[in-house]
Amino acid sequence: MIGARILLESLKRAGVEVIFGYPGGQVLPIFDQLYDFDIKFILTRHEQGAAHAADGFSRATGKVGVCLATSGPGATNLVTGIATAYMDSIPMVAIAGQVGTHLIGNDAFQEADVTGITRPITKHNFLVKDVKDLARTIAEAFYIASSGRPGPVLIDIPVDVQRAETEFIWPEKIEIRSYQPTYAGHPGQIKKAAKLISSSGKPIIYAGGGIITSGAHLELRRLAEKIQAPVTTTFMGLGGFPGTHKLSLGMLGMHGTAYANHAIMESDLIIAVGARFDDRVTGRLDTFAPYAKVIHIDIDPSSISKNVRVDVPIVGDAKNIITQLLKQIKKAPDTQAWLKTVEAWKKKHPLTYKHTGKMLKPQYILEQLWDLTKGDAVICTEVGQSQMWACQWYKYLAPRTFISSGGLGTMGFGFPAAIGAKVGLPDKEVFNIAGDGSIQMNIQELATCVANKINVKVLIFNNGFLGMVRQWQELFYKKRYSYTSITSPDYVKLAASYGALGIRVTKKSEVRKALEKAIEVDNTVFVDFRIEPEENVWPMVPAGQAINKMIDGLA
């Protein structure tokens, strides 16, 4: 069997249903095999779109996403997508063609050192120099991508390896002596954590993306209810705990809720699960949660005690550990007074916005979207103000319903990620909450949607600005709006020219109808919401400040 065929047979054995990609000179043997192979292939209009789509597919389904591109520029176009997946620990396998082995290092046409370029942004990568190694390498790539703390793995396959013949042997079991992730938590540490929880008075659960990766949302809920502790999630953790639950504090951090930030700052115990105390969460580190002891549960030992000193570190899988912890907690702490305090913060500092003027408010659109869908939708986002509003004003009830680039903050992610999510979950309504800046970064994927009937609903919060940067310029750079005012095409006409539907909304009264129409139409829809141009995201913690020093421009 030739290498190209071995690749596809291996992908099938690894459970791959769909590949997102783009052809080119050094992957011709693979595409020749794809021509009549029983695996779905989605041709995007840009390799970056393929990488984000594979990522979105993975985030929506929990399966490993796969993208494929040719050598050189094809592979370098995947780079942003790979880095995005890496920062958010998303399991993905990226396959790149490479020039023939005899040409590697010769500055051959469309050659780039792709394993070199992607080394710091992949969990691992491979250059396959011998076709005999191909099947095992693919099996290892899938194992590495999806186990432990997941992440993207790149496989670089020279074109002569794709053409070379060997016997196809699929390894049923993969063992890597140098890679053995820890899943079970240390029982002694779990006991210690249980004691600390029982003796706490103001505990708070701080839950991150690890809850979603490990599928620990039900266990998390049981834990919160058992110990009656409020739960705040990170951006990556949205959906890991129901946003409507009475113990939910929503998201914390820079644009988190004021009550979540107050609660974590005043807490005497932080139970961190699958979160990494990122700078957007902690604000100024030396002021962060001064009274709190910290229990930190994470599968990646390098995340523990990296930013915040931890009293009880527990390395392992969140679901396993919470299950064990639930058994070990003999006595629930008395948190009645604490919950009252938290409730008072909720009343005193709710999320809010002003319905002033005639202009449309983005928060209102999201409220309407919530009202229409009640959490039964997949919300993808781009990056910036629209993304932060989507975190604040929509409630996520289940894991994998919020898909957004957290760590890297990649503009242009949301639209192709929504395509991947819709391919993975065809029966779900998939929205992309976009700004007029971000949507223009991968707008070419409209063609992918229409050609493949992947109907996603893109809600563009069009304010004529790169809004988040403009907000910072307004607040910290004396309103010197340096290159943040931008123009857009006519999105209604643009959508129509691709064969999609465009709707323009300028008035509050039109919002509901437009959303209903977008849902009802059996096509990809762009809704161009003309929103208040200088609306800000509140509340906000200025960079480098303590997270309870929030500013709120509404006063």
Partner 1 sequence: MRHTISVLVENKFGVLARVAGLFSARGYNIASLAVSETLDPSISYMTMVVEVKDTDVLEQIKKQLNKLIDVITVTDFTKREHIDRELVLAKINYAAKDKAKLEAIFNKFVGKIIHHKEDTAIIEAVGNAEQIKLLLEELSKFGIKELVRTGKLAISN
Applying CB under 8 A, the residues found at the interface with partner 1 are 115-116, 119-120, 123-124, 127, 144, 176-179, 300-302, 305-306
Closest approach, Cβ 146 to partner 1, in A, equals 13
Which lies closer to partner 1 via its Cβ, residue 225 or residue 300?
Answer: 300
Which lies closer to partner 1 via its Cβ, residue 270 or residue 315?
Answer: 315
Alpha helices (H) in 329-433, listed in sequence order: 336-348, 362-373, 385-393, 414-424
Burial 159-170 (b: 16+ CB within 10 A, else e): bbbbebebebee
Closest approach, Cβ 250 to partner 1, in A, equals 31
Which lies closer to partner 1 via its Cβ, residue 117 or residue 446?
Answer: 117
Closest approach, Cβ 153 to partner 1, in A, equals 9
Maximum C-alpha span of the chain: 72
Closest approach, Cβ 302 to partner 1, in A, equals 4
CA distance 213 to 248: 20
Do 82 and 94 meet the contact criterion of CB atoms below 8 Å apart? yes
CA-to-CA dists, residue 161 to 6, 131, 136, 338, 478, angstroms: 10, 5, 14, 63, 58
Closest approach, Cβ 538 to partner 1, in A, equals 35
Do 97 and 70 meet the contact criterion of CB atoms below 8 Å apart? yes
Closest approach, Cβ 66 to partner 1, in A, equals 19
Closest approach, Cβ 84 to partner 1, in A, equals 18
Closest approach, Cβ 119 to partner 1, in A, equals 6
Q: Which residues have C-beta within 8 Å of that of residue 366, sequence separation ≥ 6? A: 389, 390, 392, 393, 394, 433
> Where are any strands of DSSP class E within 31-186?
40-43, 65-69, 92-98, 124-127, 152-158
Which lies closer to partner 1 via its Cβ, residue 301 or residue 409?
Answer: 301
Closest approach, Cβ 413 to partner 1, in A, equals 23
CA distance 404 to 32: 34
Closest approach, Cβ 179 to partner 1, in A, equals 5
CA distance 223 to 515: 37
Pairing of strands 525-530, 124-127: unpaired
Which lies closer to partner 1 via its Cβ, residue 173 or residue 347?
Answer: 173
Token couple for 491: 């999105």
Which lies closer to partner 1 via its Cβ, residue 115 or residue 373?
Answer: 115
Which lies closer to partner 1 via its Cβ, residue 299 or residue 505?
Answer: 299
Which lies closer to partner 1 via its Cβ, residue 1 or residue 117?
Answer: 117
Q: Which helix (H) or strand (E) holds 380?
A: strand 378-381
Closest approach, Cβ 376 to partner 1, in A, equals 38
Do 519 and 457 meet the contact criterion of CB atoms below 8 Å apart? yes
Closest approach, Cβ 102 to partner 1, in A, equals 16
Token couple for 306: 């990296």
Which lies closer to partner 1 via its Cβ, residue 123 or residue 457?
Answer: 123
CA distance 194 to 100: 57
For the residues of 175-219, what is the DSSP string, one character each?
--TT-----SPPHHHHHHHHHHHHT-SSEEEEE-HHHHHHT-HHH
Which lies closer to partner 1 via its Cβ, residue 75 or residue 466?
Answer: 75
Which lies closer to partner 1 via its Cβ, residue 244 or residue 302?
Answer: 302
Which lies closer to partner 1 via its Cβ, residue 125 or residue 455?
Answer: 125
Closest approach, Cβ 420 to partner 1, in A, equals 26
Which lies closer to partner 1 via its Cβ, residue 25 or residue 301?
Answer: 301
Q: Which helix (H) or strand (E) holds 504?
A: strand 501-505
Instruction: Work out the number of other CB atoms within 10 angstroms of the CB of residue 481.
Output: 15
Q: Which helix (H) or strand (E) holds 225?
A: helix 217-227
Token couple for 130: 């011998």
Burial class (CB in 10 A: 0-12, 13-18, 19+), 268: middle
Burial 211-250 (b: 16+ CB within 10 A, else e): bbbbebbebbbebbeebebbbbbbbbbbbbbbbeeebbbb
